[in-house]
Amino acid sequence: MLSARSPLSVKNENTVSSQMSNMSLDKENTPPSLNTTRILASKTARKIFDEPAPKAVKKSSREEQEEPLLKENPRRFVIFPIQYHDIWQMYKKAEASFWTAEEVDLSKDLQHWESLKDEERYFISHVLAFFAASDGIVNENLVERFTQEVQVTEARCFYGFQIAMENIHSEMYSLLIDTYIREPKEREYLFNAIETLPCVKKKADWAMNWIGNKKANYGERVVAFAAVEGIFFSGSFAAIFWLKKRGLMPGLTFSNELISRDEGLHCDFACLMFKHLVNKPSAETVTNIIKNAVQIEQEFLTESLPVKLIGMNCELMKQYIEFVADRLMLELGFTKIYRVENPFDFMSVEPDITPILWYSPTRFSKKLVFPSREMFSMKSKGFSTR
């Protein structure tokens, strides 16, 4: 039976037949409505299915035996009974904070965008280019490594939900670029930032190297990706909150609130997983990972893409990144490295929606209350939520 969606026209019948006759695909098994592109896709699919499945990441036997999180778990396919209640509660927090890109109103942003200085537009577009790619890298790690290694059901639930949220973040950043940047070539340049922007490539390469590192154990890689989401994102989040303080770009800054809250929760979860490890990396190893990430982030926002472009002080940004790193060290159970104060008064508790931010002085003492999806939607449309 011919496909109802794409019936063959009489005038194209000979052309399609000619194209199909040149294909090595078995005619007997080829639906008559396939065009050349779909035939090639079918051929590729056959090749994929004929190839052996890729081998799962192999953990060392010692790591499997000594780490409860990584031990073979025949009950990993069933959620109840809950074994790790703290991990499960993290998953429920993530679930309660779900939102979508459609809930962010960008209608006022274009007018603001046109009023910005050239250097401000340059800075924002390049920060968005980094963000658009970075969430995909985080997901690469989750899919290729963490979800294959961790055998605890509660943690796998969180990782699964994190993957979904990272997709939403990436969609949001891509939508922002698509909205602000009208020139197709410039959009393509920004969407391909990992290849076109050296400053973005350096951060991406650092994260990708940790994904591909077969010698680093799970604990070391947990710290590395806590640094990616807790340090590599922190300065850029702060820069966008600086725009909010100036009353600019309401759609961008609202999405930044939602995303920074999500990433803060992901950092919290990484620290929780680290605390569950029996054999943790040494303080020296963790310190080296964090210092390396701090150096790269400071270079990114004070040299490669300096925050002075939007009127921020580069030295204070360096200090802020060190402050964030110290908070992360404390959450991982180690002592501070830099022992500096938070230099930005606006990077504290937000009045309406409190993101889970590494910089909030009250973050570790106050219970977080997640706003409802209805509140997100109302706020994005300009309604008061008070």
Number of neighbouring beta carbons within 10 Å of residue 158: 27
User: What H or E segment, with its residue span, contains residue 180?
Assistant: helix 153-180
Task: Give the tokens for residue 290.
Answer: 């964090």
CA–CA dist 120, 115 (Å, integer): 10
Query: Three-state DSSP class for 328?
Result: helix
Largest Cα–Cα distance in the chain? 77
The DSSP symbol for 305 reads S
135 burial level (CB within 10 Å; 0-12, 13-18, 19+): buried
92 burial level (CB within 10 Å; 0-12, 13-18, 19+): middle
Are 152 and 76 within 8 A, CB to CB?
yes
Positions marked catalytic: 173
CA 349 to chain centre: 23
CA–CA dist 330, 310 (Å, integer): 31
Are 225 and 207 within 8 A, CB to CB?
yes
Task: Give the tokens for residue 365.
Answer: 């003492």
CA–CA dist 353, 208 (Å, integer): 32
Are 204 and 300 within 8 A, CB to CB?
no
Task: Give the tokens for residue 295.
Answer: 């150096």
Number of neighbouring beta carbons within 10 Å of residue 175: 18
CA angle 195, 200, 203 (to 5 degrees): 115
Query: Three-state DSSP class for 311?
Result: coil
Are 221 and 140 within 8 A, CB to CB?
no
